[in-house]
Structures are given as structure tokens and as C-alpha cells.
């Protein structure tokens, strides 16, 4: 006799005809575009009326403008995609809302809770719900599932539930959403199978099958691993300062070992994942996450250390003018989320430094050139080494130094000018 899960799986409506994406931001909008491009009707749901209007007008203000405009102009997307501020009935619901941390570093899953609660009145038997948001372990089963069952339907019997954590990188969002391997973990086999069916519509990378709890955990350890690697590089940089050793040279020599690959140090860690996700693990079990905590503390302390270095470089100069170059959290993107460069700039101002911030990629911080902002400056601090910044300094270094009041160019990684 077939199990209940197998009986239920045989009742799946196939193919999908309508998908609702709850949250139309960095993660949700690419998902909505790809699903719509596959031929399925998509409703993007967002509480921000401006976001909804821009999607419906096909004028969404996103960073990777050319890629998104290409999709918005696709006839299949034009036909299948619409946006609204409230949910609708659909075959599948994809929740892609932010999951930040509170001031005390504990996870803030309020947006996931609100998004799940918003779809409860629209859930029907046979529906699939997928959480794409990065969430603490057990959230799918212990937080989302009970909320969904307020509909009167039972998860695993009437409706299906899975977690498929997003894997995108600002600067290449649309391609990463398609070609990266994806982890899919359902609360049961039927949920996993149905989620695989959904993601098979557009994902060309591998679909890696597991359970919901493991999927939640894997996303967190991926980013915790990256955080620890960055922390080690930053600790190497601090030690090099102490010993009077050139950090770029030291790391380059160490990386000649066939099994060593030390990353470049920097001024901290930014973006929507690495500064946030490791805290989910720490909050779950502080006793078992000492290394992760140490990495987070070290990386969170790098902006203050960077400020100390800048202050030392202009010590003794009355009303020193410091020009900070680069505002985004990493080179060649416009993403300001959790940017350590912004933190450095704010800390400098808080400490009374005459600091200015310029970034050629971001309109509110844009400048004509490094040369134009360097005039009369006492120090240029390259916080985010965009190619536009580095290339100009390399080709015009002598001219730039000549127009400065005190010719100091400060770098904070392995950048060689």
C-alpha cells in the first residue's frame, strides 16, 4: 500500500500554472523573473507600493540594470509577470523576505513570520510553500509550519513545505540564480519532490536534495566558513602590522604552498549574508560556536581598526581632510548593505575628522574623478577598491599626489598601486 505522502504526491497539479513570490527584492525579483520567463504566471507580492508600481511598469530600479531590463523586455515575462501589495491564490508560494539581526545579534525572523501569515488565507490543498529566506535551523518546521496550519490544512497531508536557501551574489544576480547548485530540503519527501519540480523550471545547476533542517544549516555554515576565512586573513594583517611585515608579500608567499589559500585582508565584512548568518548559529548554541563568534568579533572590529590607522596617518595635521574612496561593501558593485566602508566613514566623522566619502558607482557619493576630490586632501583612504578608482590612481598617481596638501594614499588590503 502506498504511503500517505506517496498518495498525496500523485495528486499534484502538474505543471505549475501560477506562482506567488512574497518579497520582490534582491532575491524575490530575480526569482519572479526567471519563473515568469519559464512560461508560468507569476505574481510578485511586496508591501512596498513603489516596488510594486515599478515592477508593473517594468522600470524596477535594480543594480544590474541591463540584465533586468533584458528580462523585463522579454515577451514571456511581459505576459506572465504582475505585482501587487497583497497575496493571491497560487499553486506555489515562495517567501523571499529579509532576515536581519536584532541589536543584540539575535535573529529577526519577523518578516518571514509576517509573510507566512499573509498567505494563510490563500493557501489551498495541494499548494507548495518554499522559504528562500536565510533562516535559523528549525525555523521551517517550528515557526513556518505551525503558522501555515492555522489555515486548517496539515503540512504533509494537505499542503507541502520546503526550504531552498537563496544563492546569489550581487554583481551577477540573474546568472547565479540559474547556474548555481541549489539545496532543496522539504519537511517530507513529497514536499522535496514538489519543490524540485518547481525549481527545475529554470535552474540549470544541480538540485541537491536533503531535508529542511539540513538545508537551513548548510546555508549558515557556508557563510560562517567564509567569515572565518576572512577573519583569519584580517588576523594575519594585524600580526603583520605588529611585526613590521609586508602583509601582501607574506600572504603571496604562503599561498605558494599547494594546500594554502589565504584570502586578502580588508576593512571588515559586508553584504546581506556573511555579517548576519553566522550569528544565527551562535544564537542557537553559544557554547558550540566559539570559533564562529571569534571570527564575527574580529571582522566586526576591523572598521574601528581602520579608523585608527587613518587617524595615525594624519596625526599632527590641523583639521586634516580625509577623502574616503568607495562606499559599497565590496569592489565593483553598488550594494551598500552592511558596508564596512560606510561604518569607517561614520566613525571618522564621529571622532571629529574632516572626512568626505566618494564612490563613482553610487549617485549620492559620485564624483567626477579621484583627481577632482584629491585636491587639497591630506589623505586618500581606499576603502573599497573599485576598478575605476584603482585604475585612475595607478595611471595618474603622480598627478594626484601633486594636488594633495599632504601626499598620502592609504590602502587596507593587498592592493598594490
As annotated, the active-site residues are: 219, 273
Tell me, what DSSP letter sits at residue 173? H
Residue 57 exposed, middle or buried by CB count within 10 Å (0-12, 13-18, 19+): exposed
The answer to whether the beta carbons of residues 144 and 112 sit under 8 Å apart is: yes
Q: Cβ(131)–Cβ(160) under 8 Å?
A: no
Which H, E and C letters describe 292-343, residue by residue? Answer: HHHHHHHHHHHHHHHHHHHHHHCCCCCCCEEEEECCCCCCCCCCCCCCHHHH
The set of cell numbers assigned to 99 is 532576515
| Residue 27 CA neighbour count, 13 Å, CB half | 20
How far apart are the C-alpha atoms of 373 and 172, rounded to whole Å? 30
The 10 Å Cβ neighbour count of residue 115 is 25
Helix axes 212-243, 247-254, angle to 10 degrees: 130
Residue 297 CB contacts under 8 Å (≥ 6 apart), including other chains:
none
Cell numbers given for 338: 552592511
Which residue's entry shows cell 576603502?
Answer: 383
Q: The cell 497560487 sits on which residue?
A: 90
Measured between alpha carbons, how far is 262 from 110 in angstroms, rounded to an integer?
37
Contact (CB, 8 A) for 131 and 144: yes
For the four alpha carbons of 82, 146, 219 and 225, in that order, the dihedral sign comes to positive
Distance CA 355, CA 222 (A): 36
Which residue in the block uniquely carries the three cell numbers 558596508? 339
Q: How far apart (Å, rounded) are the C-alpha atoms in residues 395 and 393?
A: 6
Amino acid at each position: 500500500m502506498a504511503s500517505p505522502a506517496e498518495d498525496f504526491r500523485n495528486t499534484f497539479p502538474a505543471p505549475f500554472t501560477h506562482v506567488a513570490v512574497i518579497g520582490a527584492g534582491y532575491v524575490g525579483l530575480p526569482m519572479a523573473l526567471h519563473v515568469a520567463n519559464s512560461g508560468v504566471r507569476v505574481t510578485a507580492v511586496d508591501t512596498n507600493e513603489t516596488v510594486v508600481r515599478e515592477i508593473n511598469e517594468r522600470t524596477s530600479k535594480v543594480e544590474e540594470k541591463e540584465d533586468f531590463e533584458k528580462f523585463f523586455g522579454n515577451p514571456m515575462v511581459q505576459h506572465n509577470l504582475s505585482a501587487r501589495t497583497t497575496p493571491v491564490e497560487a499553486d506555489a508560494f515562495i517567501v523571499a523576505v529579509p532576515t536581519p539581526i536584532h541589536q543584540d545579534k539575535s535573529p529577526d525572523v519577523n518578516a518571514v513570520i509576517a509573510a507566512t501569515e499573509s498567505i494563510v488565507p490563500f493557501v489551498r490543498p495541494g499548494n507548495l510553500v518554499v522559504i528562500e529566506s536565510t533562516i535559523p535551523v528549525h525555523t521551517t518546521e517550528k515557526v513556518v509550519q505551525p503558522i501555515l496550519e492555522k489555515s486548517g490544512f496539515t503540512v504533509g497531508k494537505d499542503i507541502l513545505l520546503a526550504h531552498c536557501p537563496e544563492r546569489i551574489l550581487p554583481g551577477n544576480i540573474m546568472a547565479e540564480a540559474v547556474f548555481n547548485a541549489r539545496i532543496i530540503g522539504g519537511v517530507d519527501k513529497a514536499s522535496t519532490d514538489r519543490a524540485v519540480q518547481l525549481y527545475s523550471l529554470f535552474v540549470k545547476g544541480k538540485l541537491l536534495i536533503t531535508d529542511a533542517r539540513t538545508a537551513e544549516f548548510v546555508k549558515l555554515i557556508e557563510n560562517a566558513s567564509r567569515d572565518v576565512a576572512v577573519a583569519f586573513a584580517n588576523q594575519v594583517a594585524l600580526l603583520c602590522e605588529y611585526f613590521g611585515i609586508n602583509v601582501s608579500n607574506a600572504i603571496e608567499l604562503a599561498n605558494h604552498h599547494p594546500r594554502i589559500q589565504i584570502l586578502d585582508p580588508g576593512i571588515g565584512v559586508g553584504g546581506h549574508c556573511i555579517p548576519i548568518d553566522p550569528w544565527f548559529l551562535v544564537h542557537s548554541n553559544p557554547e558550540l560556536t566559539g570559533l564562529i563568534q571569534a571570527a564575527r568579533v574580529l571582522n566586526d572590529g576591523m572598521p574601528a581598526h581602520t579608523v585608527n590607522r587613518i587617524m595615525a596617518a594624519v596625526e599632527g595635521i590641523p583639521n586634516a581632510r580625509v577623502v574616503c574612496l568607495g562606499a559599497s561593501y565590496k569592489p565593483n558593485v553598488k550594494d551598500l548593505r552592511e558596508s564596512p566602508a560606510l561604518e569607517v566613514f561614520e566613525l571618522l566623522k564621529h571622532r571629529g575628522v574632516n572626512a568626505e566619502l566618494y564612490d563613482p558607482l553610487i549617485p549620492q557619493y559620485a564624483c567626477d574623478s579621484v583627481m577632482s576630490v584629491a585636491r587639497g586632501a591630506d589623505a586618500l583612504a581606499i576603502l573599497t577598491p573599485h576598478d575605476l578608482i584603482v585604475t585612475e590612481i595607478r595611471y595618474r598617481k603622480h598627478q594626484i599626489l601633486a594636488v594633495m596638501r599632504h601626499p598620502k594614499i592609504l590602502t587596507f588590503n593587498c592592493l598594490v598601486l
